[in-house]
Chain A
Amino acid sequence: METYFLKNEDILKFYERLNQEYELFVPVKAKSALKLNCDCKPIVPTDDFSIKKFSQVKKEEIVFSDYRSTEPIRSFFTQYKEEVSVFFEGEDSKGKKERPLALCGVKNCDIFALKIQDFVFLGGSEVDAAYKARRDTTLIIASDCPQFKNVCFCRAFDINPFPTEGYDFNFSPLTNGYLVDVASQKASSIAFSLKDVLVPATLGQLSGRSSKRESVVRRLDDYLTQYQIPKKEKLQDIVVSGHNSTVWQNESRTCVECNGCVFICDTCHCFLLSDDSSSGNARRLRLWDGCLLKNFTKVAGGANPLKLRYMRLRNRFLKKFDFFISNLGIQACCGCGRCIDVCPGKIDIRRILKILHESRQVQPEVVG
C-alpha cells in the first residue's frame, strides 16, 4: 500500500477525477433532520454528516466528515425498496447497467458492517448478483474519524475509529491536507492519474497521523468508561443467558415499533419479497424488513412466534450477538450508535448490554 499527501486545496481535483468515472457521493453537513426512507419515517438529528451526490451539492458544502454519516452505508448496496425481478415477460431490470459508485466518508464502523452484509448477500445458499455487482464496482473512499459522536462506541468492540482494510482509498486529515492510502488496483490507477497533486507522504506526516489516531482512541476509550459496555468476547454469553432477564420487558416499554433502529442500522439486512401487479406485469420488490415489526415472523395460519414486543427486542439482540457470532465469528453490531440516535423511546443498546452483563455476573454459571 502506498501513502500520499494531498493538500486541502487540491481535494476538489480528486473529487472531479472520481466524478469522471463514478457516481460520486461526498459528505456534507446535514442541514435539516433526516426522515428515514421507510413507511414509519423516524427522524434522526441534524448534527450529523450526510453523504450526498457530488453533482447535486454546492462545492462549498462538501466537508470532511469527523465521524460516520447519518445514513447507513448499506443503503448504497441494497435500497429500502428495490425491484429485483419482473415476471414472466418483459425486461428484467437487473440487466440494466448501473453507473459505479464512489463513496466518500465511509468510516471503519461502516467497513465492519459491510462484512455482515457481504456474508448475507454474497454468502447464504446463492449469491445476490445485483449486490455483488455493486460491491465489485463501488469505490470505497474511507476516512479516519478525528472526532466521535456521543453515541459512538466502536472501541467497546475493539473496532478502531480509523480503517486499516476494506477500502480503496483512506483519508487521514492532517493540518493542511490529507494522508491518502491507496489500497487497491482501481485506486492505484486513479492515484497515478493524479500524480501532480498526490505527493509521497513524509515520515513526519505519517507519525503525525499515528499520534492523532492514538489521541482519538484514548479520548473515546475514556468517554466509553461510563457505559461499562461488555467486551465482545462476552456478548454471546450474556445475551443467550439473559433470555429470561427483565431487561427485555423493561426496555421495550418505550418502543413505538417505528423500526427506526433497524432501518438505520448498518448491519441489519432482513428483507421481504413483495409482489406488485399494479403495473400489469408482475414485479417483485425487495423491501427492507425488520424484526421489531410485529408481523415479522407471522405465518399464514396466524401463528406468530414473536408476538410480544419484548420478544422482538430480544430477538434483535439474539440475531446480532448469538446468530452472527455462531455463524461468522463476529457480532452484527459495529458500534456506530445510529440506533441510539434514532430511537424516539431512548432505547440504548449500550445500556441493555451493560444490564445483561451485570446480571450475568451475579448469576451462577450453568453448565450445559
Chain B
Amino acid sequence: MTDGANILEVKGLNKYFGPTHANVDIDFTIKRGEIKGLIGENGSGKSTLISQIAGIYRYDSGSMTLNGEPYAPHSPKDANREKIAMVMQELGVVGTLPAGVNVFLGRTQQFTKAGFVNLKEVYAAAEKIFTQWDLPMPPLHQLAEGMMVETRKMIELARALSIDPDLLLLDEITQSLSMNNRDRLYGLIGKLKGMGRSVLVITHDVDELIEITDTITVLRDGAVVGEADSRRTTADEIKRMMVGRSMSGEYYREDQAPDYREKVMLTVRDMAVPGEIEDVSFELHEGEILGFCGLSDSGIHSVGKAVYGLSRLSSGSVRMEYADKDVKTAEQALATGAAYVPKDRDSEALMIHASVLDNICLPSVEELEGKVMYLAPGKLRALTNEMVEKFSVRTTGVHQTMDALSGGNKQKINLGRWLAKDLKLLILDCPTRGVDVGVKAYIYSLMKEAKKNGIATLLISDELTEVLGMADRLMVMKDGRITKVIRRDENFTEQSVIGAMI
C-alpha cells in the first residue's frame, strides 16, 4: 500500500437509534497518511460515525472497506485487530488499576505465563510507549484514580498507540488538554503522518482543526454536507457549513478597554492551598470578568475551587464583600449568592441519571423552600420550565433524564440553573468545554448579559482566545502563583500572555 491510497472507505452508511436517524447515507474516505477532521454541531452524528468505525456500534446499512477488504467490526477489539484505535470523548480509564496496567487493559494476555501476568513486563512496555511517542509519563505504578483528567487522557492515548495503529480516531480529546500537551499531541499527529499512518480528529475548535488537518468533513443532522481542503478553507466557511447559514458578528466582546464598576465584590488575600497555589491575592469588581490562564499545572483550576470554599486553605482568606462575609465552605459560598461551574461537567456538576428538573432545581432548593421546609412540586416545575424555555434547552420534558441530552444542552442547564438565581459572583471553569460554536456563542452572550447585570465573573479557561476575548483583566499563573496581571487596554495579546505562562 502506498501513500494516497484509501485506507478506509465508508459508503452509504446509515445508523438508527430507535426513531432517530443518526447517520444518513454517509460517504467518506480516509487516505493513508491523511489527517482528517470531522466537525459538526452537537448531535450532528460525529461520535456515532466514529463509534461505528471503532466497532462500538454496528451500522444498520451501507458498507465499510478497509484496505480494500470489507470491514464490519463487532467490537473495539475487532477494530484493534485491524489496527484501528480510538480515544473516547468521555473518560475511559479504570481508576482502581495502576496507570501502567491501564495502558494494556484487556490485552494483558501477551504478558501472561501460566495464568500469571508479569506486571514488570507490563510496566516496562507501558514505559516504552510513553517514551517512544514522547508523551508525558504518568507515575505508572500509581492508581489512575485521582489523577488529573489530562493525565488520564494521556494514558488513554498511550493505550491507543500501544496497538501501533494504522488509523487513530480521536474524539474531542484536545478539550481536556492544556496548551503544552496540545502541542505535544499536534507533534504526535505530525509524526504519525510522517509514518504514513492516518488520523481522524473530532474537535469543536475550528481554528485548531484547520491548523492540524489536511482535509475536513462537515456533518449536519447526521449527513455529510461538505468537504474542505484545510489549506484553502477559512474558519467562517466551516462554521457556515456546520450551521447551514452564516454566523453573524463576532462572538467575543468588541470593546477594547476594561469596563466595570468601582465596587469590590470579592477580596482574596494571600490564599494558599498546599501543593496547588500560593500567595494568591486579587480583587474582583462588580460587573467585571476576571480571566485566569496558565499551563496545566499552574493552579488556575485550584483558584476557582478554593474561592468557592471547596479546598482547605493553609493560609489567607476569601471574603465575599457583597455579603460582608468570609467564606470557608461551599455551603457558605452558596448562601451568599455565589456560583461555581466546575470543569468536568458530567462527573463534577451534573447528576447524569437524574431528571432535568432535579438538576436545574438543585442550587435553588433553599430559595424554593416554603413553610415547614415544604418544596412545592409546582414551584420546582415552574422554575424548570422557565429555565428550559429561557435557555432553549431541547428536551422532551422536565422529567427526561440528563443522559439523553446532547453536550450543549447539558451545558446550558449547567450554567442556566445558576443564572436563574439572584447571583452576585459567578465562577466559571472552562465553561465552553466540549460545546459547539452555536452554544459557545450563546454562552458568551450569557456572560455578557451577566456582566451587564453587575455579576462579578471569575473566568478560568484553558483556551487563551476565550479569556482574551472576554476578560476585563487577566491573571496569568505559573507554578501556583500569579505572575502577571494584564488589563484589557494594555498589552492584551497572546504573545504577552504566553510569555508569562512559561
Say whether A associates with B: no
Q: Footprint of B on A, CB under 8 Å? A: none
Q: Footprint of A on B, CB under 8 Å? A: none
